[in-house]
Amino acid sequence: MIHIEMSDSPEDLLSDGNTWDRLAGGIPFRQTVWLRSWWQQFGDAERAFFMVARDESGDCRGLLPLERTEGDSRRLQTLAAGNVCTDHVSILVRPEDREEVATAFAKHLIQCSADRKHGWDQIDFDGTIAGDPAMEVLARSLVADDVPTNIHSRMHLWFNRCEATWEDLLATRSRKYRNRVRGLLRKLDESDGELFVRDAGSPEEVHMGLMKLIELHQKRWQDVGEPGSYADDRMVRFVTDATVEMSKRGRLVLPQLIYKGEVIATELHYIGDDGRQYCYSTGVNHAYPDLKPGIMLNSYMFREAHRLGRAGIDYMRGDETYKGRLHSRPIPLLEIAVFAKHARGQMRMAQDRATQLLKVQWRRMKDLPQDQPLTLDEAFAEEHRDFLPDQTITQNFVEETPACLSAALDTTVEEADDLSDSPVIYSIRDYQRADDFSHEPSN
């Protein structure tokens, strides 16, 4: 029998890496290395809403860490939401306990919604991936009890799966694509030291490499009039702390493409337990368009992923055009809004609907992508699960060698052969939850 308790000590839970990470499915963005680093910069114990599922022996069998939204204590949200763009958000639970634990969390949320201390009107899940099995159990349990639950998607997460070998992968692509990728990599391989890739190794190299990535990333956003993801100093400190810790664990790949002594492209990858590489952030110097530095480094990293036996590269949220041109698989990124059944919850739902209607008009005027409403069956369709991380792996993934360093897909395969470094950039707000309560970066 599973019972749910509210934790009064979120810091203690985050400090217990063995217990927490054992339930995280090997996904870096659910683990303490990410969330503890975020908590140290953004966390507030007064707003914490951490639910713990325990069995009869008192052992932790599941976690659902939420927080009350700043300035709105009756609204709950997932940790590291908003500008942080945390993906793969879900209940922390082992696969064999998924049904029991997720159902227990749903029942507890329903029961406590009107509670004086733990009550809530609305819960926002930002960054859940379509097909996530634990979130499906939670959502279906809530809907079965007539709890209003709205699911939307405005963008995708993109995953590029590795084949047995690099040549096997190229064999699945068109001749035009193969020739262009091989040409880019040949230029890199035969450059006689003028053009090469290096990977950060020492703590000093990691810090300097990350600062360069942030510089290039910020310039790209600021050139189009946006503050950029790293405009908030807390964001810089948080990602720096997480990246340094990932490096200590041997879970970091931070390559730089160097041309004549200058960094012209760089990427930040974390490695999951199943060997999937998560590309969280990138930076490109667009002063060298003829070299196509972004696509060149993307291609090099994908070839390296094959050489090292990785599961693939997860390019995470955002519908930049280069992800489709790399033949990545688009998977809907879900925004799930849950409204309590009591009067305040129903008023909140009506307010949310009105806000969404205004958002539709605003986004239409700005020619921005619209939210797409999804049914439960659409959001958690079986077809998406083939592209989710393998959460059955419990042992630590050991890196073999240090790195030197479904119709949507069908429409991109042949059109994707024009390799380009020009991404689609809308607004930093497209990476955040579409409401008035999203965190905005500080200038």
Per-residue pLDDT tens digits of the chain, which is 443 residues long: 999 999 989 999 999 999 999 999 999 999 999 999 999 999 999 999 999 999 999 999 999 999 999 999 999 999 999 889 999 999 999 999 999 999 999 999 999 999 999 999 999 999 999 999 999 999 999 999 999 999 999 999 999 999 999 999 999 999 999 999 999 999 999 998 999 999 998 999 999 999 999 999 999 999 999 999 999 999 999 999 999 999 999 999 999 999 999 999 999 999 999 899 999 999 999 999 999 999 999 999 999 999 999 999 999 999 998 899 889 999 999 999 999 999 999 999 999 999 989 988 998 998 888 889 999 999 999 999 999 998 876 545 444 434 333 333 333 433 445 555 544 444 445 455 544 333 333 33
Query: Chain centroid to CA 301: how far?
Result: 19
Residue 84, token pair as written in the block: 């942080």
Could you tell me the CA-to-CA distances from 269 to 34, 232, 279, 301, 342 in Å, in that order? 13, 21, 4, 10, 44
What pLDDT is stored for residue 359 in this prediction? 87
Residue 356, token pair as written in the block: 């969404």
Could you tell me the CA-to-CA distances from 423 to 146, 173, 419 in Å, in that order? 42, 21, 11
CA separation for the pair 330, 370 (Å, rounded): 16
- Domains, the chain, with CATH or none: 3-155+333-387 (3.40.630.30), 159-329+393-431 (3.40.630.30)
What pLDDT is stored for residue 439 in this prediction? 32
CA atoms within 13 A on the CB side of 440: 8
In contact, 142 and 106? CB cutoff 8 Å: yes
Of 147, 67, 51, 66, the closest CA to residue 101 belongs to 51
In contact, 274 and 397? CB cutoff 8 Å: yes
CA separation for the pair 227, 301 (Å, rounded): 28
In contact, 57 and 97? CB cutoff 8 Å: no
| Coil, helix or strand at residue 241 | helix
What pLDDT is stored for residue 391 in this prediction? 81
Strands 72-78 and 122-129, by their bridges, are: parallel
Count CB atoms within 10 A of the CB of residue 6.
14
User: What is the model's pTM?
Assistant: 0.88
CA separation for the pair 252, 99 (Å, rounded): 33
What pLDDT is stored for residue 369 in this prediction? 80
What pLDDT is stored for residue 394 in this prediction? 54
Query: DSSP of 16-39, one letter per residue?
Result: -HHHHHHTTTT-GGGSHHHHHHHH
The single residue listed with the structure tokens 């979130």 is 135
Query: Chain centroid to CA 101: how far?
Result: 23
Cβ-count burial 211-228 (b if 16+ within 10 Å, e if not) = ebbbebbbebbeeeebbb
* Angle at CA of residue 414, ends 412 and 415, nearest 5°: 60
CA separation for the pair 412, 433 (Å, rounded): 27
What pLDDT is stored for residue 419 in this prediction? 56
The single residue listed with the structure tokens 């063995």 is 18
CA separation for the pair 421, 325 (Å, rounded): 10
In contact, 31 and 10? CB cutoff 8 Å: no
CA separation for the pair 92, 102 (Å, rounded): 9
Give the N- to C-terminal CA distance of the chain in Å, as an integer.
49
Could you tell me the CA-to-CA distances from 443 to 88, 224, 232, 428 in Å, in that order? 28, 16, 6, 13
Q: Which of left, alpha, beta for 165 (phi over 0: left; psi -120 to 50: alpha)?
A: beta
